Every structure is written in C-alpha cells, then in structure tokens.
Structure 1
Amino acid sequence: MSKRYDFRDRIPPLSSEEITRHKDFDALLQAFEGGRKPEAPVRRLRPWVVAAAAAAALLAGYLLWWPSPGTSYEQLAEAFFSSRPFIAPPLPELEPPSEVVTVNAEQGGVYEFSSGSRIVVPTAAFRDDKGRLVEGEIQLHFRELLDPVDFFLAGIPMGYDSAGTHYLLESAGMLEVYATQNGQRVSLAPDKELLVELVGRVLVPADQTEPPPYNVYYLDPAEGNWVYRGTNRTKWFGSASDADDEPEIQSLMQEREEQLQTLYRQKTEALEELERRVPPPPKPRAPQRADRNALVFELDLSEMQGADEELLAFKREFQGMLWQLAPGQNLSDQDLVAPDGSWDDMRLNPIDELEYELVLIDKEVERKVRVRPVLTGEDFDKAQQAFQSKMQTWQRQMEERQARIEQERAALEAEFAARQAALEKELDERIARLRAQGLDYAANRAIIQRKVLNTFRVTSLGIWNYDKPLSPILARNTVRFKDQHGRLLDNTQGWLVNKNLNTVNRFFVSAKGTPLIINEPEGEHLLWILTSENKIALLPPERFRTWFEAPERQPELVLTLVDEPLDSEADIRRILNL
C-alpha cells in the first residue's frame, strides 16, 4: 500500500442542538454551589504553646509507663508488647521473604511455588480500595512459615486466647498471602476465595499412620488474636523419611516419594490445561470520548496493515470514529508531519484494549506514536450504551466459564485423589510385606518430621495457620537470666522451643523474675534471648534439661552470649541448631 497522508484537526463543531441541550446555567450553578463544603476556620497556635503541650505529653507518657516498685510481671509484659506492633519481626532485615508471581486479575490461574505448595486464583477476584474490580496484572505475594525459626524471624505470636484460657498453637504450616497492583494493596472480593494447598511439616512418631487433626486460624491484627475458622483437610505429602530403615524399605519409600511428586505435577499440569482449554471470552472494548485538548485526526483503515476485524467493524458502525494521541507522549502537531509534507505508508500495531502503535513511514524514516480510537457527540453516547450491554453479556459468560471450570476441576481433583490413594495403598502393602519378613524400623517410636498437604480456602488476604492448641501450662517457674559475664538480662524478649513441637513460645524478660511456661516436659528444650545489641544469649537443651530435672530448680539461669554477627537466616539456624 502506498498513499500520501496528512493530518488535520477533525473534531466537528458543536451543533446548535448540542449547545441548547447543555445550556441550563441555573442547574450548573446549583450543582457547583451544592458541591461546596464550608471551610474550617484556621486556628494559629504559637510555637511555645505547641512545645509546652508536646513536653507535657512526653512527661505524661514517661510517668504512665515507668514501672513502680510494685508493678507486676504481667503489667510489665503488657506494657512492653503493647508498645510494639502486634506482628514485630525482632530482626527486620532477616524477615522471611515472599515469593511473588504475576497474575492476570481478570483471568486468574493456578500457581505453584518452589516448595510444592500451590494456589488457585479465580477470575475477577480482586477489588481496589474503592471496591472497584481490579483489571490487568497484579502481584501475588505468597510467604510460607514452616518451623520455629520462621515464626521467630517473622515476629508472629503463637499464643491463642480462647474463653479466658491462653494456649500455644502448634503449627502444621503457616502462610501469608496478599496482592498488590502498582505498589498498592488490593483486597479479595467478598464473593471470591483462593484455594490453597500448603505443604507443611509435622512432628510425629515414626509409626503414625494418619496425620494428626489440625484447625484453621486467621490472624486478625486488629483484634490481636488468632480467629478460629474451622478444620482443614490434611493428608500426608510424600512418605516418612527415617534413616534407620533397612535399604529395601528406604528404596520403596523413595520410590513412593518420587511417584507422588510425579502425580502431583501431572495434577497441576491438568489444572493449568483446564484453564487454557476454557479460555475467557474477549472483553468488550470501552469507547473513548475525544479530548478537545488533544490532537485528533482521521485515518483511512481500508488498506492499513494491522487494522483488526473488531476495529474495522467498530469503524463501520461509527463512521465518525476519529483518532487521538494517547496521553503522556509530549508530542506536538509538527511531530506528526512527514519530512516532505506527507507520509508514504502507515501501519497499526495493537498494544492493549485501548491503544495502538501507529507507525508512520516516509522512505527510510519511521516514526512511532501511541494512538486511541475516539468518538464524539451522539456516536459516543450510542457506543457507551452498546458497551454496557456487551459488558453484561461478558460478565455472564465469565460466570458460566467459572462454573464450568469449577465443575471440571472437582472431577480432576476426585480423579487424582483416587489415583493417589491407589498408589499409596500398593506401596504400603509392599512395605508391609518387607516388614513382615523382619525388615522393620530400628526405632519405630522415634519422633520424625513428615510433610503434610493442607487444603483450605482463603476468604481474606492475610496470615493463615494450620494449628492445634497445646494443653495449658504444665510447669511454671520464675527465674532470672544472666549472661556468662554476670550481666542481668532485662526488658527484652525471649523464646522457648521444644524440638518435639512445631511452635515457639515468646515471653517477656524481666530482671525482677520471668515466669517460664513449659507446655510439654518431654523433648529437647532450647531457650534464647535477644539482647538490646541484637545478639543471642543461648541456653542449649542439655543445660535446660539439667536445670529442669534438678530436685530444686535454681532461680537463676546463666545463658551463653554468642558474640557472632546475625547477618542471615543461615546464621540464626546454625547458632540455634534448628
């Protein structure tokens, strides 16, 4: 195609009918005055008054929180923790990171993470802070917290208050999930939910055949407490891993692990293929009104490259369709003028549902600009009405698509659940036959760590936890803590871990004495305190056991101050041996 193109301003003048239709100046004045808000009177404060008020407030706060000699431990702990955010990472630079995936907010999809966990996002699932449907791409942030080191570094309390009783929650897996667009948080629509399969870990006896029951809790930061949200579906993920098994049993367990992982990948691929097999209907293109402050012009689409059928049909329906420069390009009229006065050729490249790239060609010169098709007057009003009707049809088609996907997804879930059950049964029978021949666990009551797959539905973005409440306090002793140099540890926080339980008990450290709560006496207990210099003072399990089993427990515990930098999570795990 070779034509000569030039550009002229093509916005038609307003007709007398359009001028008359918008000539109600009384109504305009009334709308303007009705929208005004009375201005608040400006009050000027003298600087010395402000300074005096600030000093008084500071002094009042100092007096309010300065502990009197009779202040109880509970009051000190309440003042300490209430002065900090409910979720307060003790070493913010080492806070566990999130994995981030990009999601088409309108289409949703299935997303798998490096741990094997995955999340299913429905279509049109997010709203902005004004309740409007979020369109385009969003970033989904997914963070898994699986063991005491994760809980410690994330600063998430594991205490749970229910009916006046304080419990400690033992976790089978915790996650934080939230979404952003352009750096701003978006929320989950009230009628939408995310399906999550979280690979967690539990500590169980080696011969336990079924995963223990767990509840689902949502962390309500406003209430400062975990909120019970029911029970969840938990099943083993892979097989038990016990180094004391005979080689034949180890081989079968490894085989089961690999086959289950293969089956899980096949299931994920099948669900992703389902999303592709049932594609979303094309979204109607919203009409754009011409801006009288922008450069507006006509284009002959009859022979232009890149003019798609939808655009041509739009032009046939609205003969008065014009084009204007997209905002943000800082171009003038002269930038669209060819070197010799007119362009030899042009082509259009679609960018998105609103814009095209217009390529202007003159011999060896190419100039690229972003443009939008626009309408004026009655053409725009007519197109807007048609768009609303098409949007209703599109939303109905999206709902029908979602219903079909949910139905087929349920069938796939059932199919793969049956295949997994058959696979596990066959391998369990083979392992049982080997054990009947004398190949058994060397220590079948050992506590081992096993992976579980927790399945639940997220109804609010935030932090979710699979837990079971541990029994109330079994032992309580008041002790004071010192380091090896004789320095008393005070006004900070400490953590106590039982290596047989997947949780961490955070407590306030007071030089006046700290009530040490022990929920389960069996197992290896590890205690550490973070000093004001961000160093760890440590009481290892053997010294804790010696103190705990003594006929008369000493009122002081000497911790070892570890004089090493805490530069990474690996440093924390190495020092704590967790």
Structure 2
Amino acid sequence: MQPKFNIDRPKVSDDEINKHKDFDNLVKQFKEQSITKARSDKSWWKNNYIKYAAVIAGVTVICTVTYTALFNKSTKEIASNDKTTTLKDQNTKNTKSTKFINEPFEKIKVNNTSYKVDNSKGAEIKHPTGSKIKIPKSSFVNKAGEEIKGEVEILYREIHDQAEIIASGIPMRYDSAGKEFTFESAGMFEITGSQNGEPVFIKHDKPLTVEFNSTQTEDRFNQYLLDTVAKNWSYIKRDNPVLPPQQQPPNPAEAKQELKKLEQKYLPAIAAIPKRIDSVKVVYTKKIEKLEKPSQPIKPNKSAGRPQFELDVDYKEFPELSAFKNAVFEIGSESTNYKPEMKDITWSSAEIEEGPIKGKNYILVLKLRQRVEKLVVYPVLSGNDFADASKKYEEKFEKYKTLQTKRLADEAKLKAEMEAKQAAYMAQQKKLDEEYIREKIRIENQKNAEVNASISSGGFANIISRVFTISNFGIYNSDCPRPGGTLLMNPQYVDGSTPLSPHTVYLIETERNIVYNLSNGASMRINNNTKYTMCLLSGRGVYTVSKDDFESAVASKELKFKTTKLGEEITDLYSLKKAIGIGS
C-alpha cells in the first residue's frame, strides 16, 4: 500500500493545538491503546512485552523532551523583550468594540501616494521625501501563489511626527512581559499592493527594500511590523541606519525670515482695515446728525366748544405774554379744577408754561395771594381767523415736506457714500488676505520643494536612511520603547468655565516623537522637566492644551487644564501641527 501525503492540509487552529497539549492524557491514551492490543494478542504479549516496555519508555522520553523543549521555548518567547511585543487590553470587562487602527478625524488624514509597477519589470520608486522603494521584477503573486501579470498598484504613506501619528490612528502602545511601554518613533510607513481591487502578495524569495528617510538620526531604534490580526507589534531586528551622502541643506532661517517679512508687510495693513471701517461709520453718522431737521408746523386748533377766554393784561407789565396777545384760549378737558367763576377773578399774576403736548397746549398758571390754579389750555381759532391760520399752516406744511424730503435724500446719499467706502475697505481687506495666504503658501511650498529636492538628491545632515526588507505588506515602524512618566495625576479639563469630558486624550511630548493615548484622560503620568501639549476629542469637537497652559495647570496643583477648541477650518495636517505646537 502506497503512503498518502496531505500537502494541502488546512491550518490547525490555536484551539485545536491547545486541546492536545495535555501530556498526561497523551501518555494515558497511548498506554490504554497498547494494553488493549496486547490483551487481544497473546503472542504479542508473550514475545513483545520487552519491546512494549521499551516503547513506553522511549515515548515517555521523547514526549518529555518535546514537552520540555516547547515549555522552554514558550518561556523564552514570553521573557524576550525583542521577539514579540503584544498589545493588551487591560480592561477585559469593557465590551465596547473599537477599531484597532482608529483614525480619529473625518477630514484630517495621512494620505497615500499611488504608484503603478509592471510586475514583469520591477521598479525603483522615489517618494517625495527621498525614501526609495526597490521592487525586484516578478515580486508579486496572487492569493493562489500565481505570479501577477501586468501592473500592480502600490499605495504608500509615511508617518513622521506627532500630528501624523494621531491622525493615522496607528496604536503606539505595547506590552512586554506584562510591562506597558509607548513607542518613541523614528518614523513609520504603510505599504500595500493590489491589482483590480484584489490584494496581491510578495513572493517569499523576492522581498522589497524600503530605504526610509528619517529625521530622527539617533542609533537607538528597532524595526517592527504591526500584525493587525493578532493585534501586536512584532519585532523584526535592530535598526541600523545608513547615512546618506552629505550636502548643504536648505537654510530654514531664510524661509522663516521671508515669512516674517511677509507678515510685516501684510498683517498691520489687514489689522488696520476694521478700524478704518469703524472710523467711516463715525464720520458719516456725525454728518447725518448735522443735517438740518425741519420743524413740522403746528396745525391750528379749531374750537371744540369748551369755555374760552382771552388774556386781559398789561403787556408792558407782563411782556412775556405779548406773544399771546389777542389769542383765544380754550380750557382743556384735562383741567378738572376749572370753575366758571375763575373768569371773573382779577388775578395778581398769570404765567404761560409749555404744556403736556409740546406746541399744541399750554399750562396757564394763575395766582392770587396764596391761591394758585393751573389750567391746561389750548389756543384756538374760529371763523375767519381759523381759515387764515389753516391756509398759512398748509403753506408751511408744504415747505416742511420739501425740506424733509431733501433731508431724507441727503441722509440716504451720505449713507450710500458710507457703505461704498466700507465696502471698498472690505474688498481691500479680502484682497490683502488672499495675497497674504497665497504668498505664504508659495513660500512654504518653495521651502518644502527645496527640502524634497535636497532629500531626493542625497539628503542632508539631519536625514538618515533606515533600510527595511519587506516580505509582507503592512505597517512598519522604527521605534524605541519608552516607559510612562513617574508623576501620577488626575487632571480636569475645562472649555472656558465649562467642564469637559473627553473620550480620547493624546498626551504629546514636544521634544521627543512620542504620543501617549490616554483613553479618556482620567489619569495620566508625566515626567518633570518634560514639555507636553495635549489634543482632546469630545464628541465631534477637537480641543488642544498648549505648552504654557499645560505647565500652568501642573504648577497650580489644581490640575485644571484650560483647553482651546479648534475651528471647523482646521482640516489639514499643517493646521493641526500648528494647533498642537509642533509646526515649524
């Protein structure tokens, strides 16, 4: 009978392996099977009992050696700080599911760059940062192990600083032998391959080479690969960086000086415009107030049939009443104290004061010794006098309407001039804003282009190349594990005077490339003399804690951290870097 070899047996699961790890049960099962066979075969028992004992002893030795080797190997793997570093969720009771790679922002992304490679030819890709991806020909196969024909799409992105680490959502925490660390990163990259939407794989004997340009030049990092299935970082090897050819780097001070000159040119002019707009409003408001305001003539009152009287006074003795000479006054209904006999009294004095309705009625003050009477009176006309007065009123009212129309026209003209000047200033402000932003972007792009050109042509002093051998697509990292801080604190967060309860808190070291993900930030550990900023997520809001505010909160002992909410306009990595205080 020919033996059969199963060369495509399904992979044995971890549960199945663990089920058969019981050494005592294995020996017991073997003994029972052997004794049963021996009892059913007496000749075997008689002739082979020595062999049986030898086999039992041999199997025992083999199993013992194997078990010991496996146990020792397992122990070594657990004890090793380099071979495997596994991320653990300490809170096993928390059933809330979170993505392993969890990008926190909707708009702020670390974008991929797409490259097309003919598999039959291979390629050497030069990334804008100066990194190189070297792809041998015939490197890619499909899931069946068949060589890919045609073009393969390579997606590649790099993560260099704290803002990019946060935006990428890539976990930087890991446990080694039960002790938790956070990676200090010298840079990460993610590389994937596909054809027509289907993933491709790297042939085992045709690995890719990535010469990753890093600005972290220290020689103290290891290389890791992120296993997104097992959710752990796997140690690859110690990172041995390579110094690229040296050349004179672009001078960042020149770009900063150019930006400073740009600010001096535009920002004062932009800031002055709102004041000019307010000044225009003040000037034209005063001009409008100085326009002549015509007085509306008073319509003559026709007698209502109430008691009337004339002033019979010596106008030489009372010259102030001469304006009312020959005037007929009618007692107003308001004067409830009026009595008919008042007209027969010779009063010692009479005074006319302005009445409750200016220009329409008056208060007549009559005095006789201790008696004082005040009457609301109306000057009235009747007969021809009323007709003449009405005619004069109509003439005056027409003149009033003409003057009022002119005033309203002059006021409208002044308002139009004011609004035109304000609009001109606003247009000027918009133009200056656009010019400033355009020039700023030009200078920054020019600076970046010079840096990229320098990197592409060999790099400069603070760039180092870290060489990775890639046998699998995924996320690779050059890292140095760091323990947490020694000073434990329970911070409070406020937005103005309102308490803030973030669901995610990033503690950022500004002088080392480290981001600590503190979950909700209810507690954290820091080190004295280390500079920190923070980025917090609460609902859909994004908040920051500046270096100064962080230091003030720690120094005050109240541990109340003042936050600043980022506006909707922050939608790119450059703005995020500025906001958390790591931008150039």
What's the TM-score, normalizing by structure 2? 0.47
Q: Which has the higher helix share?
A: 2
